[in-house]
Chain A
Amino acid sequence: MSDVEDVPETQLEIDDTEGAELEDEDDDMEQITAQKVLEILETAWINEMCAPEILPSQADMLELMVSQVAHMEEQMRDLDKNDFRAVVHSMELERVRYIMASYLRCRLQKIETFTQHILNQEAGREPDDKRLSPEETKFAQEFASNLDEYFHKVATQYMPNQQRGEAEQRIVTPNLMSHVFLKANVAVPAVIVGVDDEEVDMAAGSQHIIPYQLVADLIQNNQAQLI
């Protein structure tokens, strides 16, 4: 949480010289401004930090941002180092870089904690629904086998046969019922809260504390965001 609060509102200011629109390589994809990309990333980052489980990866947006950052760096190089604008711009870049790194780190941390759980879930998902990027999947698998190997070498191989298995007992799962702070982006009628089917209408911009699992779908649909 504190990480989130420490970063001031980020506003990526695009230099006039580089054009405000970032064109994607795919022609069929609609044009999207760098500003928008950053907004999406920021939301994704905050959601990721607050949500107990791992959320769908924003690899596409990240990729766009990486190239945008590289592009801006290129532009910065021509700018006088002591220009006031240069200072502001490079500060901005630092912030963007931090958000990206922090976002990825946060995901890695979840992957490391809930490795087996996440892998099991992923295995059951359609390719389009996968939450991990291919790189993350690879990392998760490596990590899982690495950890197993370590346990095996140090301990489990010395244990009596029947005790070696039970790996499924060791799976760490996130507590999906933990409470989260949330803000509705749009008006969402009739959200079921509590066990006895109690319903609440969320007005746009309203804020709530609620167990995560009940609103997980709202977050994925971007109807609400965590704060």
Chain B
Amino acid sequence: MSGQTKMFGEKAFDLLKELERSSQTIPAFDDDGVRQVLEEIKAIFEENVAQASTYNASGDRSLWPLLNFRHAALQRNKRCLLAYLYERCKRIKALRWEFGPIIPGDIKQALCEPEVTFFNNYSKSLAAYMCSAGYNQGLPIDLTNNLRPPKSLYIEVRCMEDYGKFELDDGEVIHLKKNSQHYLPRAQVESLVRQGILHHIA
């Protein structure tokens, strides 16, 4: 048995709790925790395999509940672990919608290698989908725009950082500088608002 004080599945549950508590962005990938859970699964499995062979050989029925119990613990561990990964996946997907195809550097550090791959693949297939969603018109629909129902054509925004020149569809050039306030077409500045460069004043 691994450890007297620890119950089966505790570590896996911790992983989930931790993720749940840090609600907004993605916490760093818990390499250690994941490894420990995997080790626990392995350990349980090996014990079970060993005892299962005794059981098969001797037909000792008294081992049966123990085997079942171990199996349930193993299943739970696995389920928690995958739930952890799946939840992270969801958040990574949300990143794509929020920040576009490039992950901000500080968040990237919190991801592990396969997660980055996942993000890139996801981003690629989403982009491919959006390109083809315009059908044979050759007009890609940017699904990451128009996230909110439009209330007005223009919105009042405040610039939160020096961004520089920004050109509108009709050729007007706006100089976005920190602390200036602007009234701009909503559709065209939505992504800047989402990135936090502009702040929408209600």
Chain B residues lying within 8 Å of A139, measured Cβ to Cβ, are 125-126, 128-129
Specify which of A59, A66, A87, A95 is in contact with B150 (CB 8 Å cutoff). A95
Chain A residues lying within 8 Å of B49, measured Cβ to Cβ, are 160
Q: Does A35 touch B at the CB level, under 8 Å?
A: no
Knowing A87-B153, A108-B143, the reply to whether A155 touches B129 (Cβ < 8 A) is: no
How far apart sit A150 and B117, CA to CA, in the bound complex (Å)?
8
How far apart sit A9 and B90, CA to CA, in the bound complex (Å)?
33
Q: Does A67 touch B at the CB level, under 8 Å?
A: yes
Knowing A95-B150, A98-B150, A102-B146, the reply to whether A155 touches B137 (Cβ < 8 A) is: no
Cβ-defined contact, B146 with A135, below 8 A: no
Q: Does B11 touch A at the CB level, under 8 Å?
A: no
Chain A residues lying within 8 Å of B187, measured Cβ to Cβ, are 94, 97
Q: Which residue of B lies closest to A73 (CB)?
A: B139
Knowing A136-B129, A146-B122, the reply to whether A163 touches B78 (Cβ < 8 A) is: yes
Q: Which residues from 12 to 50 on chain B have a C-beta closer than 8 Å to any C-beta of chain A? A: 34, 38, 41-42, 45-46, 49
Indicate with 1 or 0, residue by residue over A94-111, a CB within 8 angstroms of chain B CB atoms.
110110111011001000
Q: How many residues in A have their beta carbons less than 8 Å from beta carbons of B?
A: 43
Nearest Cβ on chain A to B83's Cβ, whole angstroms:
10
Q: Does B81 touch A at the CB level, under 8 Å?
A: yes
Specify which of A59, A94, A102, A163 is in contact with B45 (CB 8 Å cutoff). A163
Cβ-defined contact, B38 with A66, below 8 A: no
Q: Which residues from 128 to 163 on chain A have a C-beta closer than 8 Å to any C-beta of chain B? A: 135-136, 138-139, 142-143, 146-147, 149-151, 153-155, 158-160, 163
Chain A residues lying within 8 Å of B41, measured Cβ to Cβ, are 159-160, 163
Cβ-defined contact, A155 with B38, below 8 A: yes
Chain A residues lying within 8 Å of B81, measured Cβ to Cβ, are 155
Q: Does B82 touch A at the CB level, under 8 Å?
A: yes
Knowing A101-B143, A102-B146, A163-B41, the reply to whether A150 touches B93 (Cβ < 8 A) is: no
Nearest Cβ on chain B to A105's Cβ, whole angstroms:
5
Q: Which residue of A lies closest to B38 (CB)?
A: A158
Chain B residues lying within 8 Å of A101, measured Cβ to Cβ, are 141-143, 145-147
Cβ-defined contact, A66 with B139, below 8 A: yes
Chain B residues lying within 8 Å of A154, measured Cβ to Cβ, are 34, 85, 112, 114-115
Nearest Cβ on chain A to B12's Cβ, whole angstroms:
11
Q: Does A63 touch B at the CB level, under 8 Å?
A: yes
How far apart sit A105 and B149, CA to CA, in the bound complex (Å)?
13
Q: Does B163 touch A at the CB level, under 8 Å?
A: no
Closest 4 CB pairs of A and B: A153-B114, A142-B125, A94-B150, A101-B146
Q: 16 extra interchain contacts, Cβ-Cβ under 8 A, other than A112-B93, A138-B128, A159-B78?
A: A6-B149, A6-B151, A62-B135, A67-B137, A94-B146, A98-B148, A98-B150, A102-B146, A104-B143, A138-B129, A139-B125, A143-B122, A146-B118, A150-B89, A151-B85, A153-B117
